[in-house]
Structure formats: C-alpha cells, structure tokens
Structure 1
C-alpha cells in the first residue's frame, strides 16, 4: 500500500511545482537564455535558496520537463500496450505516442530539444537517464520481438534501439525547423517502419 504524503511533503511538492510552472512560463514568454533564476524566484515569490533546494541549476528545470514527458508517455503506453501482442506494433505505438506528446506543444518541444542537444554530452544525470530510458524500452521490445519470431536473431537489440532513437531525435530536429513535409507522427511512423522491415524475420515478410 502506497504511503500518503504528509503535510510537509505536500508543501514541498507544491513549492517545487510552483517554481517549475513559473520557470516554464518565463521560458516560453521571453526565451530560456534570457530568463534568470532571479526572475523566476521573483515571479514565484520564493527565496533564491528555496529554488536551489529543488533545482540545483536552471538547466535542471528542463531536465525535469523531459522526465515528466517520459512519465506521461509511459502512462499512455501502458494503456495502449495492454491490447497489443506484437513487438513491432508496440515499437510503432511507442514512436506514435512520443510524436503525439511532442505535437501537443511544439514550443516546449523546441525548448527541450535545444537543451537536450547542448546537454547530450554533459554530466547532467537526469538528462542521461531520460535518453537511456527511451533506448532501454525500445531495446526490450526488440528482444521481445526476437523471442516471438518477429525479428531476426542476428542483430543486437541495443543497436536497433540506438538507431531508432537516433532517427527519433533527428526527425524531431527537422520538425521544429519546419523541414518535414508531413506531420511529426506520420514521419516517425514511416521511418520506423523502414528500420523494422530491415530486421523482420523472413516468415513475417512473406
């Protein structure tokens, strides 16, 4: 049984949420680079020390947004996966759900994407966890597909997962730059299908 948060924990969560929402409002209004911690704490009406108790840096706010998006996608996927048996269908569903989450607010996606590319080779642990979790989910689904005979067994699931993840991030970049002819979801599905056809077991292709 999950323990209910006490009053102090609820208050802490409310303050963290206030700081987060205030920061996102300022980021979208005046830009990430032009928003300072001082402006965030002034608008949220909290002490600067309170900000740093919840977020060690301004970058950590965007990392938190990335984590929240992963959690949202996981909730949607649990619902969708419950009616799917094919690993290929689940991988396609995964990319479709992430496409949906991003399309719902393009400005935030662009903000996160720019931040992610800057931090991709950094030591920010949350950013690494967000990226690795995405890859691990795909890797697990490829392994599942191999066990079920959907995919060939002479490829490393990790390699396939990293290829799909690379395609996903590059497609996102093209989308925010306005370089795609179709919607984000359409492009993700079309490109994912090309990758998956390359690892389909022969009996599944016939």
Structure 2
C-alpha cells in the first residue's frame, strides 16, 4: 500500500513537472498573458479542470519553477558552505552559482519580475532570500574568525554589501554579462578601488 502511494505521488509530481515545462515553453513564445490554461492543458493532453489540482494560476507555475531552480542553487550553496574551501573562495563560488542560476533562467526571472511589478498583485516577494543571507553570514563569520576578513566591520554590514552587489547586478543595464558584472563588483569589494603601490 505504501509503495502504491509512493508511485501515485511520483505520478502526480511528474504531471506537475509536465504541466510546468509545457507552460514555460508557451510563456517564452507567446507571453504569460497571451497563454491560456486551456492551451497548456491541451498540449499536456489533460483536461482543463485538472490544471487546478496542481496550480491555482498561471503565475503560480512561474513561482513553482523558479522555486525549484532556487532550491537546487541553495543546495549547491550549502555544499559550498560546508566544504574545505577558505571563506574568500566560498564567497566567490557562491556568486558563480547565483550567476549561473540567473543566466540559465533569465527569461523566467524576467517574466516573474514583470508579473510582480503589476500593482494589482499583493504578493511582491521573490520565492527565496533568507536562506542565502544565512549562508553568506555564516561564511563571513567564518572568514572573520580565521582572520581572512576584517573583524572591525559587523558581519551584517559585509552581508549587506554582498546583497547590494547581487541586487545591483540583477537590475543592471550595462552591457556586461551577469558573471562579469558580479565578478568586477566582488573584486572591488574585496580589494578596493585604490591601486596598491607595491
């Protein structure tokens, strides 16, 4: 009986993934507003009413898909956090993971941001945030404990600087790739803007 439930749960999860993948393809070619639930379900070879067993709205698909990818990035960041790398290298690796996640999901993030800028929508929070800040803070504290980072600056301030770098890169209109943009800013934060006279 338990195995049967497990198989049923797997089937439900697979159906949810199928619906979301088909929806994302339609969103990217037609746009979120122009895509109908009936179209999504027709391509999934399922009845329109079945949609509501899995999602409340089309926008909920975006949130689900983004959350999945962010959970995957979060897991990678947690693995980096507990690795043997030094704190500076951990921060660099985490920025690379975030950049890769952003680059691979640029279109979906764009749709999500556009949807959340709609003044009619009450919920304006992204489906992530706090866990990344916890990971960053723990790495900063570790770096301070090992004298890699300055101890006269509160870890919250350093964390806020890194968070600020991420936000400014996400909203940047400069012609740099996300990875180059964030790498330059990361370098500036760690090494400063002044040339060291050797």
Report the counterpart of residue 166 of structure 1 in structure 2: 164
Stretch moving more, 109-118 or 18-27:
109-118
Return 5+ residue gaps in structure 2 as ranges. Answer: 193-197
Report whether the alignment pairs 1:66 with 2:80: no
Structure 2: distance between partners of 1:131 and 1:75: 13
TM-score (norm 2): 0.77
> Residues 113-124 of structure 1 correspond to what in structure 2 (within 5 A)?
113-115=113-115, 122-123=122-123
Report whether the alignment pairs 1:130 with 2:128: yes
TM-score (norm 1): 0.74
Report whether the alignment pairs 1:185 with 2:179: yes
Return 5+ residue gaps in structure 1 as ranges. Answer: 199-205
Equivalent pairs, count? 190
Give RMSD over aligned pairs: 3.2
- Higher RCO structure (Cα 8 Å, ≥6 apart): 1
Q: 8 Å contact 1:41–1:51 — kept in the other structure?
A: yes
Deviations 1:39-67 (A, max 9, x none): 32232233344322222232221112222
Report the counterpart of residue 104 of structure 1 in structure 2: 104
Q: 8 Å contact 1:77–1:97 — kept in the other structure?
A: yes
Q: 8 Å contact 2:81–2:139 — kept in the other structure?
A: no
Structure 1: distance between partners of 2:115 and 2:167: 13
Report the counterpart of residue 151 of structure 1 in structure 2: 149
